[in-house]
Amino acid sequence: MKLKCQFCSKSIEITRISEFQKDLYKDIDKFFKKFGYSPSLQELGDKYEMTHTNILYHIEALIKAGYVERVPHKKKGYLPRVEV
């Protein structure tokens, strides 16, 4: 499926993700729109009652699928890329 990046309007190819990952993405996107930065792994882990390592695994899957973009050399260095 192709969607447009919400920052640069480029068309990007995305792959399927799990229902949990969709919920996680929506929470990241909602938080980012409200505060202007992404939530920490600890904040997400607390919300979903998971370790930050497990949350990171799912964020890496979102990055690989094209939903989230990594920002190098930055704490909380991931940004939502697409509108779902």
AA identity, residue 65: A
57 or 10: whose pLDDT is higher? 57
Using only the alpha carbons of the chain, give its radius of gyration. Answer: 12
Structural domain range at position 75: 2-80
pLDDT for 78 beyond 60: yes
Confidence tier at 30 by pLDDT (50, 70, 90): very high
Which CATH number covers residue 19? 1.10.10.10
Percent of the chain with pLDDT over 70: 77
Query: Look-up: residue for tokens 């919400």?
Result: 6
pLDDT at 48: 94
Would you list the DSSP string of 23-75?
HHHHHHHHHHHHHSSPPPHHHHHHHHT--HHHHHHHHHHHHHHTSEEE-TT-T
pLDDT for 2 beyond 80: no
67 or 79: whose pLDDT is higher? 67
pLDDT for 4 beyond 60: no
Looking at the structure of the chain, the number of domains it has is: 1
pLDDT at 8: 58
pTM here is 0.75
Q: Are strands 68-70 and 78-80 parallel, antiparallel or unpaired?
A: antiparallel
